Chain A
Amino acid sequence: MSAPSLRSRLAAQGIDGTTLLLLPGLIFILALFIYPFAFGVIDSLRPKDGGAWYANYAKFFGDPYQYGTIAATLWLALPVTIVNLALAVPIAFRVRLMHRQRLLTTILVLPITLGTVFVADGLLTFLGPRGWFNHVLMLLGILHEPLKLTNNYWGVFASLLITGFPFAFLLTLSYVSGIDPAIEQAAATLGAGARQRFQRIFLPLLVPGLAVTFCLSFVQAYAVFPSAVLLGAPAGPTRVISIAAYQAAFEQYDHSMGSAIALVMGGVELVVVVLILALRSLFYRGPAGGTKG
Chain B
Amino acid sequence: MNAVAEHASPVAGVSRIGGRLELDGLRRSFGAYNALAGIDIAIEPGEFIALLGPSGCGKSTALNCIAGLLELTGGEIRLGGRRIDQLEPEKRGFGMVFQSYALFPHMSVRKNVGFGLAMQGIKGPEAEKRIRDALAMVRLESQADKLPGQLSGGQQQRVAIARAIVIRPPIVLMDEPLSNLDAKLRLEMRAEIRAIHDQIGSTTIYVTHDQDEALSLADRIVVMSQGHIQQVGTPEELYQRPVNLTVADFMGFRTRMPGRIVSVTGGEAEIEVDGSRFRGLARESLQVGQSAVLAIRPEDLVASATGPGIAATVVSIEYRGRAFFGLARTAAGAELYFRADEPLSRGSAAYLSPAPGRALIFRDDAA
Contact = CB atoms under 8 A, between A and B. Distances in A.
B265 interface: no
B319 to A, nearest CB: 35
Contact of B102 (A183, A193, A286): A183
A188 interface: yes
A283 interface: yes
B115 A291 contact: no
Contacts of A287: 105, 149
B98 A191 contact: no
A20 interface: no
Nearest to A191: B119
A182 B100 contact: yes
A186 B119 contact: no
A187 interface: yes
A141 B105 CA distance: 54
A290 B94 CA distance: 21
A204 B111 CA distance: 14
A180 interface: yes
Given A188-B90, A190-B119, A190-B167, A180 B100 contact: yes
A108 interface: no
A193 B96 contact: no
Contacts of B148: 291
B90 A191 contact: yes
A288 B106 CA distance: 8
Interface in A6-60: none
Interface residues of A, number: 27
A291 B101 contact: yes
B84 interface: no
Contacts of B149: 286-287, 291
Interface string B157-180: 000100110010000010000001
Given A191-B93, A286-B147, A186 B102 contact: yes
Interface in B55-103: 67-69, 88-90, 92-96, 98-103
B156 A191 contact: no
Contacts of B160: 186
B89 A293 contact: no
Given A290-B100, A290-B101, A292-B156, A189 B106 contact: no
A190 B153 contact: no
Contacts of B115: 187, 190, 192, 200
B278 interface: no
A196 B120 CA distance: 12
Given A201-B104, A205-B106, A286-B147, A185 B119 contact: no
Contacts, number: 98
Contact of A188 (B88, B100, B164): B88
A284 interface: yes
Contacts of A186: 96, 98, 102-104, 160, 163
B201 interface: no
B45 interface: no
Contacts of A187: 104, 115
Contacts of A189: 67-69, 89-90, 92, 94-96, 164, 173
Interface string B10-30: 000000000000000000000
Nearest to A204: B106
Contact of A182 (B98, B120, B180): B98
A64 B95 CA distance: 63
B106 A284 contact: yes
Q: For this complex, into which size category does the number of interface residues on chain B fall?
A: 35 or more
B103 A291 contact: yes
Given A188-B90, A190-B116, A292-B156, A286 B105 contact: yes
A181 to B, nearest CB: 9
Given A185-B69, A185-B89, A284-B106, A190 B98 contact: no
Contacts of B119: 190-192, 196
Contacts of A284: 105-106, 147
Nearest to B94: A189
Given A286-B147, A293-B100, A188 B69 contact: yes
Interface in A189-217: 189-193, 196, 200-201, 204-205
B163 A182 contact: no
> Which one of B67, B101, B148, B167 has the greatest number of beta carbons of chain A within 10 Å?
B101
A242 B13 CA distance: 73
A4 to B, nearest CB: 37
A238 B107 CA distance: 45
Contacts of B99: 182, 293
Interface string A159-201: 0000000000000000000001011011111111100100011
A263 to B, nearest CB: 38
A204 B108 CA distance: 13
A290 B55 CA distance: 20
Contact of B180 (A185, A201, A286, A292): A292
A180 B106 CA distance: 13
Contacts of A200: 115
Interface string B300-333: 0000000000000000000000000000000000
Contacts of B105: 183, 205, 284, 286-289, 291
21 contacts: A182-B98, A182-B100, A185-B67, A185-B102, A188-B90, A189-B90, A189-B95, A189-B96, A189-B164, A190-B90, A190-B119, A192-B119, A200-B115, A283-B106, A284-B105, A284-B106, A286-B147, A286-B149, A291-B148, A292-B153, A293-B99
Given A204-B106, A286-B106, 14 more contacts: A182-B102, A186-B96, A186-B102, A189-B96, A189-B173, A190-B116, A191-B93, A191-B167, A192-B119, A200-B115, A283-B106, A287-B105, A289-B105, A291-B148
Q: What are the nearest 9 A-B pairs in CB distance?
A: A290-B100, A293-B100, A284-B106, A191-B119, A190-B116, A182-B102, A186-B102, A189-B96, A188-B89
